[in-house]
């Protein structure tokens, strides 16, 4: 199948071609026609599956082809996402796909001055891409009116739940017209997400790529058993290998991320951290430097990593094994994307073995153990 088979209008086909995409991904094949038919969607899909285009392309088409030229510009599409990075990434994709259309968009998140955001809103926009907290602030101040919204997207709904945004989401959705099309995407589908979906979606089509248990097939997974105090030495040793072109390193805490950066800097390896305690400008700079290859090492916590989408990322390293097995799948899904091969290496200390066991159970296989390293333990 190619993009022409999805009945997309010419400006969108040109934009897709410009981005270098030849064929739609499975989620795009399944979701785009359903969205164009006006169906609500409950999608289970992790990052790296082409999910953003799966909702951005049909929403842009519907906005463009069903607009009333005589009507004053009003917010007709609202996309909610959990983190600043993901909000920024979704906005970039909407802008790229909608470059040939007369559609205006505003990106709304906290951590920066609201002035530019409110000025854009006052000029009139068709699409809002927002993090729930700042959006609610601007609604309470009277800058945002959602009574004309026709399309609502909740992206990474499970993460929004984890981050405590559920009340904000309910307050926001209470201001939307009852008659609208709603698309909800989540990497996992626990009971709370199913309840949320049931309250917001009307006869939804389920698009399930069973992402919560299966890691990307192009990712080579390995585990290094190592004493906790030797992890920093193992990391410095591994990063001497030039084949590790660029690497995203995960820690469980903000403090841990900063500590890894400090240790790497002492070893002469340039690295930056990205987490919730960093200012928005520092996070933007770290991500920009990593994407442009000014630095080859980025250290992140799980919450901050949502929305990090880097082309041809060669390696992911779990400096600390995550407590939740599903988080492991999300982490390693940052590499091995869009047909590219990648590697995911996990450092496992003795106290983390129960977490590793849960991961094996979830992915239904044992990860290969690397014994040929200087800090190996049994």
Comparing 3-208 with 219-369, is the CATH topology the same?
yes
Between the CA atoms of 104, 109, 112 and 118, what dihedral angle is there, to the nearest 10 degrees?
40
User: Checking DSSP bridges between strand 181-186 and strand 105-108, what pairing results, if any?
Assistant: unpaired
What is the C-alpha separation between 293 and 270, in angstroms, rounded?
Answer: 11
Domain assignments of the chain as residue spans, ordered by start: 3-208, 219-369
DSSP 377: -
- Model pLDDT, residue 69: 66
As a CATH number, domain 219-369 is 3.40.50.300
pLDDT of residue 349: 95
Q: What is the pLDDT of residue 194?
A: 84
C-alpha distances (whole Å) from 339 to each of 131, 179, 219, 254, 278 are 30, 39, 10, 32, 32
pLDDT digits (tens, 9 = 90+) for 317-337: 999 999 888 788 878 877 866
Dihedral angle, C-alpha 136, 137, 140, 141, nearest 10 °: -140
Across-strand partners of 250? 300, 318
The predicted structure's pLDDT at residue 304: 61
pLDDT along the chain (378 residues), means of 10: 88 90 86 95 78 95 84 91 90 94 94 92 95 95 95 92 88 95 87 87 82 60 95 94 88 93 93 86 87 91 69 88 84 72 91 93 86 87
Q: Note the pLDDT of residue 219.
A: 82
Report pLDDT digits (tens) over 266-315: 999 999 998 878 887 888 888 889 888 899 999 998 866 665 777 778 89
- From the list 288, 3, 49, the residue with the least C-alpha distance to 155 is 49
Distance of CA 158 to the CA centre of its chain: 11
Per-residue pLDDT, 211: 46
| Predicted pLDDT at 212 | 46
Structure pTM?
A: 0.64
The mean pLDDT of the chain is 88
Fold of 3-208: Rossmann fold (3.40.50)
Say what the pLDDT of residue 70 is.
61
Question: Cβ distance 316 to 342 under 8 Å?
Answer: yes
Q: How far is Cα 155 from Cα 160, in angstroms, rounded to an integer?
A: 8
Backbone torsions φ then ψ of 24, nearest 5 degrees: -70, 150
- H helix count then E strand count, the chain: 15, 14
Exposed, middle or buried by CB within 10 Å (0-12, 13-18, 19+), for 23?
exposed
pLDDT at 210: 52
Rounded to 5 degrees, what are φ and ψ at 312? 50, 45
Whole-number Å distance between alpha carbons of 221 and 317: 10
Beta-strand relationship, 271-274 and 297-300: parallel
Task: Tell the residue number behind the tokens 């510009």, with chain if given.
Answer: 73
């Amino acid at each position: 199948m190619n993009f022409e088979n999805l009945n997309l209008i010419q400006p969108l086909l040109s934009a897709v071609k410009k981005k270098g995409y030849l064929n739609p991904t499975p989620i795009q094949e399944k979701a785009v026609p359903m969205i164009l038919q006006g169906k609500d969607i409950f999608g289970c899909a992790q990052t790296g599956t082409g999910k953003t285009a799966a909702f951005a392309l049909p929403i842009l088409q519907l906005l463009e082809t069903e607009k009333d030229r005589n009507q004053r510009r009003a917010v007709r599409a609202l996309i909610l996402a959990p983190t600043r990075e993901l909000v920024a990434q979704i906005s970039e994709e909407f802008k790229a796909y909608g470059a040939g259309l007369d559609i205006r968009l505003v990106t709304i998140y906290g951590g920066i001055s609201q002035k530019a955001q409110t000025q854009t809103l006052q000029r009139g926009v068709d699409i809002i891409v927002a993090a729930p907290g700042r959006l609610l602030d601007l609604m309470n101040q009277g800058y945002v009116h959602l009574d004309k919204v026709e399309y609502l997207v909740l992206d990474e709904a499970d993460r929004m739940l984890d981050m405590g945004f559920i009340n904000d989401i309910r307050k926001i959705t209470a201001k939307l017209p009852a008659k609208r099309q709603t698309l909800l995407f989540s990497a996992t589908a626990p009971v709370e997400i199913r309840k949320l979906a049931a309250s917001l979606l009307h006869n939804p089509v389920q698009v399930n790529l069973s992402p919560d248990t299966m890691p990307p097939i192009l990712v080579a997974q390995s585990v290094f058993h190592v004493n906790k105090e030797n992890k920093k030495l193992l990391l410095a040793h591994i990063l001497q290998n030039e084949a590790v072109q660029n690497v995203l390193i995960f820690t469980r805490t903000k403090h841990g991320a900063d500590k890894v950066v400090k240790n790497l800097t002492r070893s002469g390896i340039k690295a930056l951290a990205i987490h919730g305690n960093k200012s928005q400008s520092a996070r933007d700079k770290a991500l920009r430097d990593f994407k442009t290859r000014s630095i080859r090492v980025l250290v992140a916590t799980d919450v901050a990593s949502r929305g990090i989408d880097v082309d041809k990322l060669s390696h992911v390293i779990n400096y600390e094994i995550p407590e939740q097995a599903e988080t492991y799948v999300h982490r390693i899904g940052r590499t091995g994307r869009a047909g590219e091969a990648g590697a995911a290496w996990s450092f496992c200390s003795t106290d983390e073995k129960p977490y590793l066991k849960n991961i094996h159970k979830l992915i239904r296989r044992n990860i290969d153990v690397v014994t040929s390293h200087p800090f190996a333990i049994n």
